[in-house]
Amino acid sequence: MLFPIYRNNEVLTYVKPDSSSELIQKLMEHDYVSLSFTLSNYMEFAVGDYIMCNNTKYELLDLPNENTAPKNNEYTCKFCGTIHTLNHASVLFQKNFNYSLTGNAGFFLQFIVDNLNRDLGGFVVGSYEEVEPKTLTFSNMKGLDAIKYICNEFGVEFYLEGKTLHFTKNTTNSGLIFKVGRYDGLYELARTKVENANIVTRLWAYGSVDNLSPDYQCPLQEKRLHFENPDLDNDSRMEQNTDMFGLREHIEVFDIRPERTGLVTSLGITNRSFIDNTMDFDMEAYKLPGLKPQLNVLTGLLAGRTFDCSYNHNTHTFTVDYKEENGTTFPNDVLTFEVGDKYTLFNISQPIEYITQARSRLQQAAQEYLSKYSIPQCVYELTPYPPHIRRNNIVFRVGVYHTIIDSKFNINGLLRVISLQQNIINTAEYEITVGEILPSGILTSIKNKVINQSSTINNAINNVYTKTETNTQIEINGGVEWE
């Protein structure tokens, strides 16, 4: 099979890849084609030359490895997907490379796209998770490194669709079902325990120290948001599967606080004031000793900026203090508040209903964490059956969910492709890893399930099963529900 390499939208040459050539993808890490071939005549390849693989453009971002000899010129080229271009741009704020910014995931997504488009161009803001704002500090970061840092801090994922960048999980479901067997799509299925993924059966969960009143009652010496579990002595903890795995304690601090998201409903008489008719309590009555109330703007022209503020409950008017950044005063006549802007308040305590809501969010986050980590964390290695892949014109992509069914492993649900290798010559030949080891929320509860912790491999050769294993069967109270 001859493979075209392009330059400036025209075919530069055709090459015959050797058997080691493959597409390699890993979720949120890399996406490239390693292409090895031999040419009788020497050819000089250049950065920017590209190939098409699975209808996607992969570009040469560096010079290939070469081994030249008369009539035998060997090349190994790494053609890269868009994710590898993200580090070509530095992430700057008004030309500064060391700075701190405050905002939500949407604010930072727009910030990254703006930086990518300074010179690279073509990037588009996609979807993002609604998460609480954070203050993040950047120090001489490049695009991909900054994206990973932001997503790690917010506990979200990212993915690219072409040049559309999303700060959320790709939840695409292929609708395909795979089992081990000649006509069911899989030649082999193996399970491997995730290294360093420790089981947690007792979780102590706490939230932020922010926005709590001086008289807030907390069992810790350091006052933090907590919840009270009536089933466990009103402790801020949860337990799951202790009867299966014994006591495995862990303490997790979540960035959750009592908080209200406000709305600019009309503008004030100056560029530093606005009215929020939805404000349902007098902020002045909830001031904390020694702290100036602060307002963090979540959306709009001032998104990401934090201001000291005051409030008049009679008129529902907020007034922020001017602040100066690099010689520019904010707000100003250009960058100011607009109707529809959202904001949150800091350095104040909150009415009881907001504390109750925050405790509920904390308890929910703790349950999601425990549901994931109270069972052994495993990934599955799939070897698809090439004739089945060819017959059905199946193309696997990293990040996509497939239904995997196996009675021996007792799995029947959606698992996501987290990495793959595809042979470039025999395109129906794949090695695929599926699992749910990244932050997800897909695993929502545990109910009557049998898990075999083992090094079992189920093989199907001509529809005949063979099995080699070292098994420990573990019955888990609870089971797995998949979205």
Q: Is residue 483 part of a domain?
A: no
Q: Is residue 64 part of a domain?
A: yes
| pLDDT per residue as tens digits for the range 307-333 | 999 999 999 999 999 998 878 899 999
Query: What pLDDT was estimated at residue 479?
Result: 30
Asked if residue 229 and residue 357 are part of one domain, the reply reads: yes
Q: Which amino acid is at 197?
A: A
Half-sphere exposure of 28 (CA within 13 A, CB side): 19
> Hey, what are 396's tokens?
């696997």
Asked if residue 383 and residue 460 are part of one domain, the reply reads: yes
Report the alpha-carbon distance of residue 157 to residue 464 in Å, rounded: 40
Q: Is residue 380 part of a domain?
A: yes
**Residue in 80, 3, 23, 21 with CA at minimum distance from that of residue 47:** 80
Report the alpha-carbon distance of residue 301 to residue 299 in Å, rounded: 7
Q: Is residue 316 part of a domain?
A: yes
Q: Is residue 144 part of a domain?
A: yes
In which band, very low, low, confident or very high, does the pLDDT at 288 lie, cut at 50, 70 and 90? very high
**In the block, residue with structure tokens 């008369």:** 70
Q: Give just the sign of the alpha carbon dihedral 322, 326, 328, 331.
A: negative
Q: Which of 80, 106, 123 is the last residue of a domain?
A: 80
Asked if residue 234 and residue 357 are part of one domain, the reply reads: yes
Q: Which amino acid is at 212?
A: L
Least confident of 147-151, 303-307, 335-339: 303-307
Contacts of 419 (CB under 8 A, 6+ apart): 24, 25, 26, 27, 398, 432, 433
What percent of the chain is modeled with pLDDT above 70?
89
Report the alpha-carbon distance of residue 199 to residue 453 in Å, rounded: 13
Q: Is residue 481 part of a domain?
A: no
Q: Is residue 394 part of a domain?
A: yes
Asked if residue 141 and residue 99 are part of one domain, the reply reads: yes
> Does this model's pTM top 0.85?
no
Query: What pLDDT was estimated at residue 233?
Result: 93
The CB density around residue 239, as the number of other CB atoms within 10 Å, is: 19
Mean pLDDT, range 50-58, rounded to an integer: 95
In which band, very low, low, confident or very high, does the pLDDT at 59 lie, cut at 50, 70 and 90? very high
Q: Is residue 236 part of a domain?
A: yes
Query: What pLDDT was estimated at residue 21?
Result: 96
* pLDDT for 440 beyond 60: no
Asked if residue 381 and residue 462 are part of one domain, the reply reads: yes
Least confident of 23-32, 160-169, 353-362, 429-438: 429-438
Looking at residue 409, the DSSP 8-state letter turns out to be T
* pLDDT for 66 beyond 60: yes
Query: What pLDDT was estimated at residue 279?
Result: 96
Count how many domains the chain has.
5
Torsion of CA 413, 417, 418, 421, to 10 degrees: 140
| pLDDT per residue as tens digits for the range 450-466 | 222 222 233 333 333 23
Q: Which of 54, 80, 106 is the last residue of a domain?
A: 80
Report the alpha-carbon distance of residue 48 to residue 59 in Å, rounded: 6
What's the whole-number average pLDDT of the chain? 86
**In the block, residue with structure tokens 């008719």:** 277
| pLDDT per residue as tens digits for the range 342-393 | 999 989 999 999 999 999 999 999 999 998 888 878 889 999 999 999 999 9
In which band, very low, low, confident or very high, does the pLDDT at 112 lie, cut at 50, 70 and 90? very high
Asked if residue 102 and residue 247 are part of one domain, the reply reads: no
Domain span holding position 361: 202-258+352-373
Query: What pLDDT was estimated at residue 464?
Result: 31
Q: What is the DSSP string of 158-223?
A: -EEETTEEEES----EEEEEEEESTTTEEEEEEEEEPTT----SEEEEE--STT--TT---SSSS-
Query: What pLDDT was estimated at residue 196?
Result: 65
Query: What pLDDT was estimated at residue 193?
Result: 79
